[in-house]
Amino acid sequence: MFILYALVAGLLMGRLLGGRLANLGALSFRWTWVAIAGLAAQVALFSPPVNSAVGQAGAPLYVASTAAVFGFVLANLRVSGMPIVALGAGLNLLAIAVNGGTMPASRAALEAIGAGGTVGYINSRELAAPALAPLGDVFALPTWLPFANVFSVGDLLIGVGVLVLVVAGMRPVPADLGPPPVPVDAGPPPVRADLGPPPVPADAGPPPVRADPTSARSIAPVRPPADGPARPRGPGGPSTTV
């Protein structure tokens, strides 16, 4: 019943934060049938006719149904709030398993709600030497609340996770904006014109022609003698002209 109060609180908080109840329909869960089967088994197990009839078989049935619900939670860790629910469910499953299929409860918590003796299997009761006693049902809801019962640290975490799940699920779903729109008047991208070679100035003459140095021969000029033919130089001195 602790989860029921968390569910109601989540709906109220989600509405105050601007959420809508219809948005919860967008949530998607895996292995939903496993959770339904596990919870249905627990409801049947703790009904008075079945409770008094199962006897010693109640403990393994309770562990199996709790493990089934825990598997459903693990399969949906991607959903907001489910990691917190998984932590709480794991602590509860651990406390139940190590105590032989019974959740240990403190005497003070049981007396606070006026719990009396019950015939048949009881999923939560006081044990002589409980293992992991702090993880058991050591808290109690006020008796002025409807369906007051004892609860554990794991139940508290499960309730917080359910509250977060409901509030997050009620938030407005953001619209898919898609790609940015293309302007209507946008044409094809401009094509760069081919400018070609640079223009030639109007007053420029023909390009100079480079001479081929091998096409002409350099001819040395011939100088005629100034005063007639030269006489050979004598052996004794310079030549003389007569």
Q: Chain-wide mean pLDDT for the chain? A: 81
Using one digit for the tens of pLDDT, what is the confidence trace for 19-38?
999 999 999 999 999 999 99
Alpha-carbon separation of residue 77 from 70, 93, 158 (angstroms): 11, 17, 13
DSSP 137: B
In this structure, the strands spanning 139-140 and 124-125 are unpaired
What's the pLDDT band for 242 if we cut at 50, 70, 90?
very low
- Give the domain ranges of the chain: 2-170
- What's the pTM value of the predicted model, to 2 decimals? 0.69
Using one digit for the tens of pLDDT, what is the confidence trace for 39-68?
999 888 888 788 778 777 888 999 999 999
Please give the helix or strand (H or E) that residue 175 lies within, else none. Answer: none
Question: CA-CA distance, 59 to 45, in Å (whole number)?
Answer: 10
Backbone angles phi, psi at 94, to 5 degrees: -65, -45
Confidence (pLDDT) at 150: 92
Using one digit for the tens of pLDDT, what is the confidence trace for 130-181?
999 999 999 999 888 888 889 999 999 999 999 999 999 998 766 555 566 6
Backbone angles phi, psi at 39, to 5 degrees: -70, -40
Mean pLDDT of 223-232: 54
Burial bucket for residue 182 (CB in 10 Å: 0-12, 13-18, 19+): exposed
- Structure tokens given for 51: 């409770």
Question: CA-CA distance, 188 to 192, in Å (whole number)?
Answer: 12
